[in-house]
Amino acid sequence: MSEAEIFPQPPDSLAGRHVISYEGRSLYVEEKDDGSYQLLQLMSTDPQDFLDEKFTPGNILP
């Protein structure tokens, strides 16, 4: 059994989460009430992207 089957998430808990393209990189973000996005995960195969501080999880995208 998968983790999602054992611990199901309420459908509305993922409603504000999106995959977006920002500066040529794919990011998994959560939309905040004010319309800004908080970075949850950088999805990249380039190790250099992970060294860039602006792609640190938790950052608010401008």
Residue-wise pLDDT tens for the chain (62 aa)?
A: 888 788 887 777 678 899 999 999 999 999 998 999 999 999 999 999 999 999 999 999 98
pLDDT of residue 41: 96
52-58 contacts, C-beta under 8 A, 24 or more apart = 55/25, 55/27
* Phi, psi (deg, nearest 5) at residue 19: -100, 125
Q: Read off the pTM.
A: 0.77
**What does the buried/exposed string (b/e) look like for 23-46 if buried means 16 or more CB atoms within 10 Å of the residue's CB?**
eeeebebeeeeeeebebeebeeee
How many whole angstroms separate alpha carbon 37 and alpha carbon 48?
22
How many whole angstroms separate alpha carbon 8 and alpha carbon 58?
24
